[in-house]
Structure 1
């Protein structure tokens, strides 16, 4: 993998990999979340996770945007980041230092290896935000891998996943089907135009090891800065009838993203 590039713009540093924006960080203010889907990840944490410190496992590191946000909003939270690209992590830590006293530990392993090594019921929250060549790796959305995530989560714990998809939501529907089968109740949070299948974009899968509080999630999205909505799992199934979970036998990476600053519409 090529080394990252760093674009600076009014305090926000965007990390580019192979020309694609991969992460964005404001070191001085970790609550500044430039990417919409990262705002949705944070929104889901605030709406659904218990107060206080959280035990978090991040699958995919990038610029460590969400770990920085968790440390800022819930100081002292023990966090594990599974990021196989050690060169990326080293470059990010040189360019964008982590705060003093943090409890963020980066392990240079893949999501499959890293989750398999974790203890049962050792995480309140697992966040999947991993890419290889601009796509979510195939092995990180299978029923088998998500069953391992369910093992790692405490009762009532949450899986949050960045799920990019094209109009039609066929990929997202299969990811949701797997989550609902082995983790629990699931829904997507996203911009209205992405939820309605009008363009390529990022959806945030929210799956709970217990009842999913859709009311709290909808209430949080109602006050979001951008037009954001919730699509429950049952509605995803209606949009894409017969969607089956990905398995180890037919795993597939997420769709190829459009070129930077381009839109893919129906």
Structure 2
């Protein structure tokens, strides 16, 4: 069951599903990102492309649309598509946590796989995969075939994935193996404790056919309220190699 609960912060609300927090939305200040992993994703939004310039963004997974609201606030006039198959949650969010007027955010009630397949070549500058079902990213969104389709839609753009895993990262290794088949550049951001295997956590994976903004991202990582490490392609290969790609 989906529910929306007010927080102690003025304008703040948490979207929950079966008792698990899915999104935090601040209606008064959409640039406020409560969850650490979402702040890391916001750092990517800030780092890619020209600072403050509009971005064409596709979100696979919507829920409260926290990151889409952030993009609309920090990069006005950005055209955004949110692929969210759960019409119930979209209806609830629209009713109780309405999107800003002229936000440029369009929600499509389709699953990520078919929604991405329907997009044009080179349609997006940034494609964000942050979709979970019972705590797991749907398997069909992590196959080599889907990554090929994502690469088609992005052209020279950036693919941002939010994964959840823990050492020895067997699942993440397989995802990265599939990404390497379609993207020349990989990077990762995560908390040091997660990388050292002390606890499970979110792994922010970046992939692109062109250069990634690692210098800008590292500056943001160091200045973050919850500092994290940014690994370049060589470090990702050294620490997360050896996987076998998922396939359809």
The interval holding the TM-score normalised by the smaller chain is over 0.9
- Give the match's secondary structure for 1:123: coil
Contact 2:151/2:183, CA 8 A, preserved across alignment:
yes
Q: Distance in 1 between matches of 2:173 and 2:49?
A: 24
Q: How far 1:64 moved relative to its partner?
A: 0.5
Show the counterpart of 1:166. 166
Show the counterpart of 1:255. none
RMSD (Å), alpha carbons:
1.5
- List 4+ stretches of structure 1 deviating above 6 A: none
Show the counterpart of 2:135. 134
Contact 1:176/1:187, CA 8 A, preserved across alignment:
no
What do the CA deviations read for 1:126-178 (whole angstroms, capped 9, x no partner)? 000101112111111111111100000132x1000111112222212221222
Contact 1:187/1:230, CA 8 A, preserved across alignment:
yes
Q: TM-score, normalising length from structure 2?
A: 0.94
Does residue 1:206 correspond to 2:229, yes or no?
no
Q: TM-score, normalising length from structure 1?
A: 0.88
Contact 1:57/1:127, CA 8 A, preserved across alignment:
yes
| 1:1-266 to 2 correspondences below 5 Å | 2-11=1-10, 12-51=12-51, 52-155=53-156, 157-248=157-248
Contact 1:176/1:233, CA 8 A, preserved across alignment:
no
Q: Distance in 1 between matches of 2:109 and 2:38?
A: 22
Q: How far 1:29 moved relative to its partner?
A: 0.1
Structure 1 residues 101 and 213: CA distance shift in structure 2, 3 A: closer
Show the counterpart of 1:260. none
Q: Structure 2 unaligned runs (5+)? A: none
Show the counterpart of 1:253. none
Contact 2:186/2:236, CA 8 A, preserved across alignment:
no
Q: How far 1:240 moved relative to its partner?
A: 4.1
Contact 1:125/1:153, CA 8 A, preserved across alignment:
yes
Q: Distance in 1 between matches of 2:27 and 2:168?
A: 37
Q: Distance in 1 between matches of 2:6 and 2:136?
A: 21
What do the CA deviations read for 1:223-252 (whole angstroms, capped 9, x no partner)? 11212111234323333442122111xxxx
Q: Structure 1 unaligned runs (5+)? A: 249-266
- Give the match's secondary structure for 2:211: coil
